[in-house]
Chain A
Amino acid sequence: MLTESVLLPGDLTDPSRRAFLQMAGFGIASAAMTGCSRAPSILALASPSASTALTPGVPYWVASACAGCSSSCGILARCRDGRPIKLEGNPDQLATGGGLCSTGQAEVLSLYDSLRIQGPLEQGESRSWDQADAAMQTLLNALHGKRGNIRLLTSTVTSPSTRLQIESFATQFGAEHVEYDALSYSAQLDANAATHGVRALPRVALDKADVIASFGADFLGTGYAPVEHSASWAANRRPDSGHMSRHWQFESILTVTGGMADERHRIAPLEVLPALAGLVELLSCYANRIEPTAKSLELVEGGEAVERLAHELWENRGKSVVLCGGNQFKAQLYANQANELLGAYGTVLDLAKPSYQKRGDDRAVAGLVEELEAGRVDLLLVAGCNPAYDRPDIAAVLGGAATIVSFGGTVDETSKLASWSLPEPHFLESWGEAEPVHGEWVLSQPTVAPLFNGRTLRESLAKWLGDERSDRELCDDYLREVVFPAAGGDAKFEDFLALARQRGTIEAPREELDQPTFNARAIRQPAELKADTSLKLVLYPKVGLRDGAHAHNPWLQELPDPVSHIVWDNYAALSRAHAEELGVAEGDLVRISCADVEGALELPVHIQAGQHDRVVAVALGYGRIGTDRFANLAPKWLEGNALIEAGETIGVNAAPWLRIVDGRQRSDVLDVTITKLDGNHELACTQDYHRLEVPEHLAPKGGEVRDVLQRTVLGAHAAHASHVGDAAAVNLWPDDHKRPGHNWAMVVDLSVCTGCSGCVVSCQAENNVPVVGRDEVARHREMHWLRIDRYYGGDDDALRVSHQPMMCHHCDNAPCESVCPVLATVHSSEGLNQQVYNRCVGTRYCANTCPYKVRRFNWFDYPRDDEHANHALNPDVTVRSRGVMEKCSMCAQRIQEAKNAAHREGRAIADGEIQTACQQSCPTKAIVFGDLSDPSSDVSLAMGRPRHYRALEELNVRPSVGYLTEVRNAPGTEASHEG
């Protein structure tokens, strides 16, 4: 099924009509390629629709790997006419199971970023690659001659073939390679090296854990492999069997992961260490069969919870795990010791087949900083990272490098300091491979002819070493020499490679490392424990923007943060008690200052539920230079507030407030003071009210809580499940909605919806949902077709967060349909509520009467001025104009495509063949879509579950979307909305 097609004009060996059309279909590509002599992009198409690859207008899939972060998830790029329009998780990748996070979903827009650097630059002046190579060659030779210091600073390099080139380069020129991660895992890596002799992160199999205890680890939201961890976490969170894991979270700020916990406790950042020490003490007592006592817990507020946790963990040893976030070495050692006592290694945690997704070494960085400070670095090559922005210790001394060469693809803080910019291409236009987990490779290949004149680090280094192989050959040779012998079997290499490229992933029975043994001596000296009552600044990454690498992506800027639902800003998050103490309200400006740090952070306040009272939390990833590019993004009108003025940045950069403690980057150690400033900055939040309980003074008796989101606990669910079917719906009206053919429906499992928002961006990409800017969102005019409603339950000390993805419910008795005067919204015979944009005159009556408030109105003509960005538009979906209503169509275009295919092939549509964009993206498989007319379809089965309910069922609008009651594994048997 392999199809090869030559994409570039210079290599058009067979300039057939099809190849020509494919070329012509992509205007910028041809424009950009005139000066481009890159190696031919020979494309291996993913199997689903390889036969149609060359037909203009017909979509095809290319398997590749996401490089949005170092998780390296396998993806399938849906392409048309030689350009990608949508990314999806690769279902063939075992670890992720086909999910993709919001950052990955948004990468297709980053590809078309018109502000990417278009070719080599010397001090901002355009140069050819030949000129660049000549200059670099001269420089390198000169330095080599006088034994100059060459340093290569990168983020974690996940590509082994690139690592090979780096090694060769380092050997040849005596260079040193330093890796760091903006969101550092150095302490955990170092701890693993100390206790197990393996400087790698363990593979975590949360599906094998019955008790999960996380101390500040946000593994579902912003960890090192959120898609994979969400998938394995969710596998043991489906209560239909009566069994689910129990998830404890101890954290100082509310994270996506903490919101999903069965039992969540607020804990000050510095209490993590005594809490873990106490946990280890208790577990040791259990192991030694002595009376459990833990003196360390006296230092922890609410240490009693840790005692209960210890008991539970011990009872489930072999099936329990302790995860620790933060970059604190001692805490990681304790966590490792706890896991050793619990027998987690070899069961839940796997260091024999470790993850290579984070490799950064903060102590190596410290060495580099010293050299830079002393001015001993002659050439600093910076690739895949932006130290001038996100690494304050390096940023302060970057001037110490004689020459800086940046490989960054966009203009960033570091490339501005560089003498040379040698841009790397976007991963969607280049070859590559990554080994995120030992023995599992994902392969990337170009989905589009290069838009700009970039070159990978790998190829540049090879070139400077005199190696004339093309980038693709470098990858292929690595695969031939290392992967093929391990995974190839009897096949010929070419066939092996072709298949692997088609599939996108390779799993090899590569010789497993020995399960490393625990070295108890690593924990010789107990940590110095002390109680802490000071106010701490906690810096954290947000889902989407993360370390700020994606700050130029408007989809991610406008993605409501799963925790706060605020867009386009970072802010100083305070607990309610703390805010009241300071006398500040939402949006009031405050100054955060610290004796040890110059300057101050001036930010608006956000009052965050579930946050520790002695913590002020600020998101990283904001304040990137160049984000004033969004100045023209929002609609302009008399009362419209500009999103940003020229020269400003979106949000404030908090990275300078990161500290180096014991040689490692810490984000939670600074003692700060907060003072209230005059003034207010309105934060744009997509949700005004955050609870299911209506305000107390407005609550009617018996109607204190809205039951649109039903939540219960495991015990109550089991009791309820035994007498399901009592409440058969009574319908006075004749059932006149006949569904002769399909009857599309959807079910969302609220138990495993973490709110990660991959679906939101996926929907945006698939359905050409416009970005509207901060002011419009502040006016509650966000356009997302799929939103995630987030409700808090309980108080700050026992917060429970519930998420409810809310899209058009495609009601059989749709209130919107009967009110439209011009029949612009009608019902299909397959149960879909269809919006006819052409017919809509925009009365908004339908939106008013929609009980779910999912209809979105085009208040303005939203600017689509960027011709590059417009290439990310899905040609199958109309771009709506001003004055018309729009809403979720349940991906009508995907349904139609599958129906056409099935019709052509004379067969029925198989269950699961159609996946809506949101469903496909969901890492936890919370969303099921299918045909209710087929009683054995997944969606029919889901609707038959005892947990199934429909939101606002009492209105008898008969929605086609159902939910599965959210179940938490908390004590009790009483059904409760409070949790």
Chain B
Amino acid sequence: MKASSGELPLITGGKTLSDVTRDVCTPIERGPTALWRVGMLFAVGALALGVLSVGYQIKTGIGTWGLNRTVGWGFDITNFVFWVGIGHAGTLISAVLLLFRQKWRTSINRSAEAMTIFAVICAAIFPLIHMGRPWLAYWVFPYPNFRGPLWVNFRSALLWDVFAISTYFIISLTFWYVGLIPDLATMRDRANGLRKRILGTLSFGWRGTARTWSRYETACMLLAALATPLVVSVHSVVSSDFATAVIPGWHANVFPPYFVIGAVFSGFAMVLTLMLVARKVMHFEDYITSAHLTAMCKILVFTGTIVGLAYMTELFIAWYSGSNYEQFVFNNRMSGPFAWAYWTMFSCNVISPQLLWFRKVRENLFVLFILSLVINVGMWFERFVIIVTSIHRDFLPSSWSGYVPTWIEVGALVGSFGLFFTCFLLFCRFGPAIAMFEVKSVLTRPVRAIDARRSASSSKEPSASESLSPSSSEEAPASDRDLTTAGAGQ
């Protein structure tokens, strides 16, 4: 992950600090563009379809899904695991890369974190609506009650999910919001009237003093340290839903690392998709540059290769285990009724990322965009393959069955994308999609000598200056407003 910054400039276009503020804030203040409105129309449409589908399903019964006595989970848990996986990239980028001091994360971390929040929301919906009696979903929380010994079952991996997902959501939300505060303050400083008051409240009266910055940096590092284990834990716990079960194809020790790396893989693919769209729609070409894209491509190749290794490991262990049931499951995956799903998964996740070894592929944004979609399709199928192909033919041949989703299920999946993109577009519209204060820290354009206020806090993050040329000094803030956010720690 020694990425990018050496060769390519992270921010292009000779941006000044005030350019950054202006470029990020203007689209928010100017009002929605036509492109945004079109995007929103599709997103809300999809969301409405999802609401209708899920509403109908809750009113009528789980029977409106294509599940049966043998295949008890299909699209529902596939979507759940898929969305949880998507979320991982945000945490990885914002927390792990922060700890590893990867400068290139600054342009994408805000969106990636937002993506995490929205993906986790999408994910959390599915375990709720997949219940036969969703109105009793609160029973999975260990709240104090008068039912005597009847409480939640701490041996159940589904209960671990409840804890893992809720923890993950709370930490991610906190981390994301804390990261937003300085930028909200910047926007506040540019606003008037009610907008100013709202932003003022949301930014907790941020003043940007050296002391504030100092404490802020510490808080971020602490939160990053808290969030980092979650990158590993959440998907490990999710994988336990399967790994702790007795069903061949689920019962696999390799699942926790396999799921985590798959999650990072799919998450980065989704970040790539979103960034390619955002830089086009929001005109962020100077902020999301080839350097960022190349860095993400390298991570995709890396994680994609590990995912391929995981698939091979599964196959090897199935063969090596000597268990007939285990061997059968993998034979059945590769050449049974769902072979098309397996090979879709395999080609999307193992073969397609290998194309990113080629510079020409990496630099062709259209191809890159398609590839990122292909990987997401592949990762969705990975979960589908794991869930459905394992249970549709397990121990007793008498109970083997198939699985065909209904339109209601498809509607729920489409709706989850609708929810995700609605949230994301709203965020782009009303929030700073690029972390201004962080981007400002990686501007490479020689700047004028900085005033004395800077030097006091520069020692707080010594590494931050490494990426700036030693001789560099910051340009004077273009306006007073920028002072509040531009500089602490630089």
- Closest beta carbon of chain A to B248's beta carbon, Å: 10
Are B327 and A700 neighbours in the complex by a CB distance under 8 Å? yes
- A791–B325 Cα gap in the complex (Å)? 18
When the two chains form their complex, are residues A848 and B396 in contact, meaning their CB atoms are under 8 A apart? no
| In-complex Cβ contact of A703 among B155, B157, B328, B394 (8 A) | B328
Q: A708 contacts the other chain (Cβ, under 8 Å)?
A: yes
Contacts of B72 in A (CB 8 A): 844-845, 847-848, 857
Instruction: Using CB atoms, name the residue of chain B closest to A844.
Output: B72
CA distance A549 to B70 in the complex (A): 34
Which B368-407 residues sit within 8 Å CB-CB of chain A? 391, 393-402, 406-407
Given the complex of chains A and B, what is the CA–CA distance between A375 and B6 in angstroms? 109
Q: Is B449 an interface residue (CB 8 A)?
A: no
A699 in complex: contacting residue of B63, B155, B331, CB < 8 Å: B331
Known contacts: A708-B395, A841-B139. The answer to whether A819 contacts B244 by CB under 8 A is yes
**Binary contact track B449-468/A, C-beta < 8 Å → 1, others 0:** 00000000000000000000
Contact B133 A706 (CB under 8 A): no
- A895 to nearest B CB, angstroms? 22
A780 pairs with B70, CB closer than 8 A: yes
B400:A688 contact, CB within 8 angstroms: yes
Nearest-neighbour CB distance to chain A for B428, whole angstroms, equals 35
Counted as pairs of residues, one from A and one from B, with CB atoms less than 8 Å apart, the total is: 194
Q: Is A697 an interface residue (CB 8 A)?
A: yes
> Bound complex: CA of A708 vs CA of B397, how far in Å?
9
Among candidates B136, B393, B398, B407, residue contacting A841 with C-beta atoms closer than 8 Å: B136
Closest A residue to B399 by CB, please name it: A853
A841 touches B131 (CB 8 A): yes
CB distance from B396 to the nearest CB of A (A): 6
Q: Which of A245-253, A600-608, A858-866, A903-911 contacts B (4 or more CB under 8 A)?
A: A858-866
**If A848-B247, A852-B396 touch, does A884 touch B133 (CB 8 Å cutoff)?**
yes
Given the complex of chains A and B, what is the CA–CA distance between A821 and B244 in angstroms?
13
Are B399 and A955 touching (Cβ within 8 A)?
no
Contact B396 A700 (CB under 8 A): no
- Residue-wise, chain B 317-340 has the 8 Å CB interface mask toward A (1 for contact) of 000000011011001100110000
Stretch at the interface among A83-91, A393-401, A467-475, A635-643: A635-643
- Closest partner residue, chain A, to B61 (CB atom): A860
Q: Check: A842 CB closer than 8 A to any chain B CB.
A: yes
Chain A residues near B66: list those with CB within 8 A: 779
Contact A883 B133 (CB under 8 A): yes
Residue of B nearest to A815 (CB): B246
**CB contact between B247 and one of A780, A839, A849, A856 (< 8 Å): that residue:** A849
For residue A342, CB closer than 8 A to chain B, the reply is no
B156 within 8 A of A: yes
Q: Is A691 an interface residue (CB 8 A)?
A: yes
Across the interface, do A708 and B132 meet the contact criterion of CB distance under 8 Å? no
Q: Does B130 contact A (CB under 8 A)?
A: yes
Flag whether B315 is at the interface (Cβ < 8 A). no
Cross-chain contact B63 with A781 (CB below 8 angstroms)? yes
**Whole-angstrom distance between the alpha carbons of A365 and B139 in the complex?**
68
A853 B69 Cβ-Cβ under 8 A? yes
Chain A residues within 8 Å of B316, by CB: none
A856 and B63 alpha carbons, distance in the complex (Å) = 12
Residue from A691, A695, A708 with most neighbouring chain B CB atoms (10 Å): A695
Question: For the complex, what is the distance from the CA of A688 to the CA of B70, rounded to whole Å?
Answer: 11
Whether B63 lies near A844 (C-beta < 8 A) is no
Compute how far the CA of A640 lies from the CA of B246 in the bound complex, rounded to whole angstroms: 33
Q: Closest CB-CB distance, A838 to chain B, in whole Å?
A: 10
B64 and A849 contact, CB distance less than 8 A: no
| Partner of A823 from B56, B63, B153, B391 at Cβ < 8 Å | B153
Given A700-B331, A815-B245, A841-B140, A820-B153 contact (CB < 8 Å): yes
Quick check: B398 and A857 within 8 Å, CB to CB? Answer: no
Contact A957–B131 (Cβ < 8 Å): no
Given contacts A842-B133, A883-B132, contact A639 B156 (CB under 8 A): no
Determine the chain A residues whose CB is within 8 A of the CB of B150 once the complex forms.
Answer: 823, 839
Q: Mark A689-708, 1 if CB is under 8 A from B, else 0.
A: 11110110111101100101
List residues 227-256 of chain B with CB under 8 A from any CB of chain A.
241, 244-247
B447 at the interface (CB under 8 A from A): no
Q: How far is the CA of A949 from the CA of B403 in the complex (A)?
A: 32
Residues of B within 8 A of A687 (CB): 398
Q: Across the interface, do B401 and A688 meet the contact criterion of CB distance under 8 Å? A: yes
In the assembly, what is the distance between CA of A706 and CA of B73, in Å?
Answer: 25
Residues of A with C-beta under 8 A to B159:
821
List of A residues within 8 angstroms of B245 by Cβ: 815, 819, 845, 848-849
User: When the two chains form the complex, which single residue of A818, A859, A951 contacts B63, counting CB atoms closer than 8 Å?
Assistant: A859
Contact of B69 among A820, A821, A847 (CB under 8 A): A847
Find the A residue at minimum CB distance from B387.
Answer: A848
Complex interface residues of chain A between 697 and 726 (CB less than 8 A to chain B):
697-700, 702-703, 706, 708
In A870-907, which residues have CB < 8 Å from any B CB?
882-885
Is B158 engaged at the interface, CB distance under 8 Å to the other chain? yes
- Is B96's beta carbon under 8 Å from chain A? no
Contact A851 B394 (CB under 8 A): yes
Which of B134, B153, B158, B394 counts the most chain A CB atoms within 10 A? B153
Beyond A703-B324, A789-B396, 11 additional pairs, beta carbon < 8 A: A779-B66, A818-B153, A839-B139, A841-B140, A842-B62, A843-B130, A843-B131, A843-B132, A844-B72, A845-B73, A852-B399
Q: Which 10 pairs, one residue from A and one from B, show the smallest C-beta to C-beta distance?
A: A842-B132, A703-B324, A883-B132, A859-B63, A700-B327, A844-B72, A789-B398, A780-B68, A853-B399, A883-B133
Task: Name B residues whose Cβ lies closer than 8 Å to a Cβ of A.
Answer: 56, 60-64, 66-70, 72-73, 127, 130-134, 136-137, 139-140, 150-153, 155-159, 162, 241, 244-247, 324-325, 327-328, 331-332, 335-336, 391, 393-402, 406-408
15 contacts between A and B (CB under 8 A): A637-B64, A698-B331, A699-B331, A780-B69, A806-B396, A820-B153, A821-B140, A821-B152, A842-B132, A845-B156, A851-B395, A859-B61, A860-B61, A883-B132, A884-B133
